[in-house]
């Protein structure tokens, strides 16, 4: 039986980074993954360019039953630390929007960098490794893999959440937590498109592909100002992905499709200047033409000129465009979700080391625990920060 100082389960963002740091600190580390290559989600991320962190990382951008938990790790390993590392590898990057940093070339550069960091730490990487069972005794942890048995004093679980089962996602980490008596909070898909009920979907399916700036508000008052995208299944785009993490089944979201202007002032001014201009053409200067045409066909935009639009119609129209209440049918689920909300209860873990309070030597890092970031590089920053905190304690 091969013995290591630490075994890390999951060669994703958190697992690779933690293994590399621990290896470089002199530990003998084994990194296991069930896939045939490491960092599969990183490769898929950010449209192939990996949105690896965000300039504006702050604890308020994370959802967790304990909102204070993420503070210590995020403060100890910051976005600037990761930007430094990326710089050392000569990886060129750019800010796309809202502080989101992407590789200029390819997400592969981030995976290559993490592999190089692991090699620097002499980490043993074993791919296509299924963990069949985990047992604990006074010497630490013994893992039965497909074909061999390995052991270590410390065990780090970095097996991620349930999103994108096609990329190796599994409930392994939750089951292991439960095996050792740790509480796991209910999970659900986050950063995920909404599906619509059939009648609404039939009305808006023609708009598939149309993107529009919006302000979207959840019932708990959370607000995001980003683009909304109509799809053939429902609604997506960054605004919807963000709000989906704050949405519970059965709730409504409220959408303002004209966030950049005051529609009342706009219509009054345009009426003064161009009384014979059609309402449709006026609105098409501020909204996608296809959206205006669709809303007109649905009877929500009257087929009139500006001077014919009476004040009651104007009020109703403005309400339709700025206060559109939608009750999603559901979400597209884990199949397309970027993250999993919920997971290993952070109250079971030390926020300084990520170690389970009642199970010495057992650590959870990254997405497997109940810390979920916004869209925009926040989730990778949590992976790096939690992994770093853990590695210091191994």
237 is a contact residue toward ligand FDA (CB under 6 A): no
Size of site (CB under 6 A) for ligand FDA: 38
The pair phi, psi for residue 101, each rounded to 5°, is -100, 130
163 is a contact residue toward ligand FDA (CB under 6 A): yes
Minimum Å gap between C-beta 204 and ligand FDA is: 24
Helix (H, G, I), strand (E, B) or coil at 351: coil
**Piece in contact with ligand FDA (CB under 6 A), picked from 21-29, 46-54, 149-157, 311-319:** 46-54
Distance between CA 241 and CA 224 in Å, rounded? Answer: 10
367 is a contact residue toward ligand FDA (CB under 6 A): yes
Minimum Å gap between C-beta 37 and ligand FDA is: 9
Binding mask 313-332 for ligand FDA (x = CB under 6 A): --------------------
The pair phi, psi for residue 63, each rounded to 5°, is -100, 135
Minimum Å gap between C-beta 307 and ligand FDA is: 49
19 is a contact residue toward ligand FDA (CB under 6 A): no
- What are the start-end ranges of the H helices in the chain? 13-24, 40-44, 70-76, 79-88, 108-120, 172-179, 198-204, 237-244, 263-273, 279-284, 289-297, 311-322, 378-393
> Regarding beta strands 131-137 and 124-126, do their DSSP bridges make them parallel or antiparallel, or are they unpaired?
unpaired
33 is a contact residue toward ligand FDA (CB under 6 A): yes
**Piece in contact with ligand FDA (CB under 6 A), picked from 120-128, 181-189, 208-216, 366-374:** 366-374
DSSP state, residue 288:
-
Q: Residue 102: is it exposed, middle or buried by C-beta count within 10 angstroms (0-12/13-18/19+)?
A: buried
Q: How far is CA 364 from the centre of its chain?
A: 18
Contact partners, residue 183, CB within 8 Å, separation at least 6:
177, 344, 345, 347, 348
12 is a contact residue toward ligand FDA (CB under 6 A): yes
193 is a contact residue toward ligand FDA (CB under 6 A): no
- Residue 45 or 282 having the CB closest to ligand FDA: 45
- Residue 127 or 304 having the CB closest to ligand FDA: 127
170 is a contact residue toward ligand FDA (CB under 6 A): yes
Distance between CA 279 and CA 151 in Å, rounded? Answer: 72
Residues 119-138 that bind ligand FDA (CB under 6 A): 130-131
* Beta partners for residue 184, in sequence order: 344
157 is a contact residue toward ligand FDA (CB under 6 A): no
* 339, 371, 385, 390: which one binds ligand FDA (CB under 6 A): 339
* 23, 121, 140, 160: which one binds ligand FDA (CB under 6 A): 160
380 is a contact residue toward ligand FDA (CB under 6 A): yes
Distance between CA 132 and CA 186 in Å, rounded? Answer: 24
Site of interaction with ligand FDA (CB under 6 A): 9-15, 32-35, 40-41, 44-46, 50-51, 130-131, 158-160, 163-164, 168, 170, 172, 338-339, 366-368, 377-380, 383
């Amino acid at each position: 039986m091969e013995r290591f100082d630490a075994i890390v389960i999951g060669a994703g963002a958190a697992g690779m980074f933690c293994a590399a740091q621990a290896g470089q600190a002199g530990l003998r580390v084994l990194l296991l993954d069930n896939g045939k290559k490491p960092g599969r989600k990183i490769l898929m991320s950010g449209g192939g360019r990996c949105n690896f962190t965000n300039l504006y990382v702050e604890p308020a951008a994370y959802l967790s039953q304990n909102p204070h938990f993420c503070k210590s790790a995020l403060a100890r390993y910051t976005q600037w630390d990761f930007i430094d590392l990326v710089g050392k590898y000569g990886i060129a990057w750019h800010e796309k929007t809202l502080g989101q940093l992407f590789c200029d070339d390819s997400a592969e550069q981030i995976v290559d960098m993490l592999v190089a960091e692991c090699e620097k730490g002499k980490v043993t990487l074993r791919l296509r490794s299924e963990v069949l069972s985990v047992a604990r005794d006074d010497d630490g942890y013994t893992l039965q893999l497909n074909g061999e048995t390995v052991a270590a004093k410390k065990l780090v679980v970095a097996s991620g959440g349930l999103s994108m089962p096609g990329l190796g996602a599994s409930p392994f980490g939750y089951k292991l937590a439960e095996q050792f008596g740790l509480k796991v909070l209910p999970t659900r898909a986050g950063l995920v498109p909404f599906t619509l009920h059939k009648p609404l979907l039939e009305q808006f399916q023609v708009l598939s592909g149309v993107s529009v700036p919006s302000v979207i508000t959840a019932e708990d008052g959370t607000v995001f100002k980003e683009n909304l995208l109509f799809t053939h299944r429902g609604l997506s785009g960054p605004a919807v992905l963000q709000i989906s993490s704050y949405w519970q089944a059965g709730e409504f979201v409220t959408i303002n499709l004209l966030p950049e202007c005051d529609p009342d002032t706009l219509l009054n001014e345009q009426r003064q200047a161009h009384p014979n201009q059609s309402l449709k053409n006026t609105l098409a200067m501020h909204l996608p033409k296809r959206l205006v045409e669709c809303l007109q066909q649905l009877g929500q935009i009257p087929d009139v000129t500006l001077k014919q639009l009476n004040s009651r119609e104007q009020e109703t129209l403005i309400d339709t465009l700025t206060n559109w209440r939608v009750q999603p049918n559901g979400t597209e689920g884990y199949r397309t979700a970027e993250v999993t909300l919920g997971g290993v209860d952070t109250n079971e873990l030390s926020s300084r080391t990520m170690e389970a309070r009642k199970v010495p030597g057992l650590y959870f890092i990254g997405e497997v625990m109940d810390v979920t970031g916004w869209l925009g590089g926040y989730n990778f920053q949590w992976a790096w920060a939690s992994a770093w905190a853990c590695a210091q304690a191994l």
